[in-house]
Structure 1
Amino acid sequence: MFSSGKPNYEKLSANLRLAINRLKLLEKKKTEIAIKSRKEIADFIRNGKIERARIRVESIIREDLTVEAMEMVEMYCDLLLSRMAQIKSTNNLDDGIEQPVANLLWATAKLSEVRELNVISSQLEKKYGKTFKQACCSDLFGTINKSLIKKLSVEPPSRLLVEKYLEEVARSYNVPYTP
């Protein structure tokens, strides 16, 4: 793999730390919003507005999946941060960091809320090359975590999952509901 310029390791480290903090903040914010939305869904069910509840549940499912994906990306950032000495000392991509690097490069476009990922992606591209970055973004090597792909997919959730969420929300708020 050929690098396209020299990476700034201090910038990479700083942005990995910043990304971890931003991800934690966004996870907390999205989780709080989802909790409030569940109450709203229970009210829709209580008032017989089941279709409206289904639509809201789809957005909650999407947010829940995004939070789970953010937790995975946070873990990858943390892993790269802990292996920064290894990243600095080798020119080749070590097997131990290939998956975290590939997943971060792939997730950057999907998690545009986390601006620091763009800087991280740019620095990793300088280290490992544009060709490698492009291959990761299109999952050419098949190294992107399948769970991460699914969590950040734009596909709507299955009807079964929507129904399970509706049942769970109704049960949590003691609202009668039968699918």
Structure 2
Amino acid sequence: MGFIHRRTSKQAGKVKNLLGLALSRLAVARRPRLARKSISRGDVGQLLALGHQDRALHRAEQVIEEENMLEAFDMIELYCNRLIEHAAQLDKPNECDEGIREAASGIMFAAGWCGDLPELLFARTILANKFGSDFATAAKEGTSIVDPMLVWKLSGDKTNMELKKKVVKDIAVENNIMVGFLELPGVGVQDRSRNVPHRHEFNHETMY
């Protein structure tokens, strides 16, 4: 009999319920961040139009913060759905495939960075008991099987000047504004982060 037909234990069922609550809270948590992203991008455009490039660069940090967190939310949503769908597998962690282990480690790492989603902290405790202390430690530190993209989105340096210049230049192009920054050599920090290999690519269109 496969995992699909096996009943979940009390603890696995609790994780499933917690992640379901986290999904509901995600929908709420996105709204203010989308609003702040829109406002901060508008502010950058206005500052550039007024010739205040230094202030625009500083304001770009808020754009980066909100964009990164929204993209992290997308990944967390994917992981929550994956663990909910395959909750029965959590009762035999040694038999879990890489996708389930990645989802579990991603949730455990995100729990320490997402104050908007307190349910993840409770889920992390249960998952740590399921997968063991070594797995839990690696997950909390963002190493081993945790997707590097999630680690970067949640803990990367949002104040990096190269990245801020790229964001400002993108907004300037959208608003037909000329900026005096020197051309950035090669691929920018944001582009490099997007090229970090994923163990499992996901399609955002299927998640809403």
After TM superposition, the score normalised by the length of structure 2 is 0.73
For residues 163 and 142 of structure 2, the distance between their equivalents in structure 1, rounded to whole angstroms, comes to 27
How far apart are 1:56 and its partner, in Å?
0.6
Gaps of 5+ in 2: 1-8, 182-208
Map Cα deviations across residues 104-123 of structure 1 (whole Å, 9 max, x no partner): 11121111221010111122
In 1: Cα distance, 2:145 partner to 2:82 partner: 16
CA distance in 2, matches of 1:150, 1:13: 26
**Which residue identity does 1:102 align to in structure 2?**
S
- 1:44, 1:169 → 2: CA distance? 11
**Which stretch of the first structure deviates more once superposed, 45-54 or 156-165?**
156-165
Aligned to 1:92: 94
Q: Does 1:10 align with 2:13?
A: yes
What are the residue-to-residue correspondences of 1:58-137 with 2, within 5 Å? Answer: 58-88=61-91, 90=92, 92-96=94-98, 97-137=100-140
Match of 1:169 in 2: 171
Which of 33, 37, 46 does residue 34 from structure 1 map onto? 37
**Which consecutive residues of structure 1, in runs of 5 or more, have no partner in the other structure?**
1-5
Give me the identity figure in percent: 25
Are the aligned partners of 2:89 and 2:95 in contact in 1 as well (CA < 8 Å)? no
Give the structure 2 partner of residue 146 of structure 1.
Answer: 148
Paired with 1:57 and 1:171, the residues of 2 have a C-alpha distance of 14
Higher relative contact order (CA 8 A, sep 6+): 1
Deviates more, 1:153-162 or 1:67-76: 153-162
Say if 1:85 and 1:52 are closer, same or farther in 2 by CA, change over 3 A: same
Q: How far 1:14 sits from its partner (Å)? A: 1.3
Instruction: Return the alpha-carbon distance in structure 2 between the equivalents of residues 33 and 156 of structure 1.
Output: 16
Instruction: Determine the structure 2 residue equivalent to 1:53.
Output: 56
Residues 30 and 63, structure 1, Cα contact 8 Å, conserved in 2: yes
CA-based RMSD of the aligned residues comes to 2.1
3-state SS of the aligned residue for 1:8?
helix
The Cα of 1:135 is off from its aligned counterpart by: 3.1
Q: Provide the rounded CA distance (Å) in 2 between the counterparts of 1:62 and 1:139.
A: 19
What is the aligned residue count?
A: 172
Matched letter for residue 165 of structure 1 = V
Label 1:135 to 1:176 Cα distance change in 2 as closer, same or farther (>3 A): closer
Provide the secondary structure at the position in 1 that maps to 2:94.
coil
Q: What residue identity is the alignment partner of 1:15?
A: L
Preserved CA contact (<8 Å) 1:66 1:152: yes
Contact conserved, 1:105 with 1:121, CA < 8 A, in 2?
A: yes
Distance in 1 between the 2:94 and 2:103 partners? 15
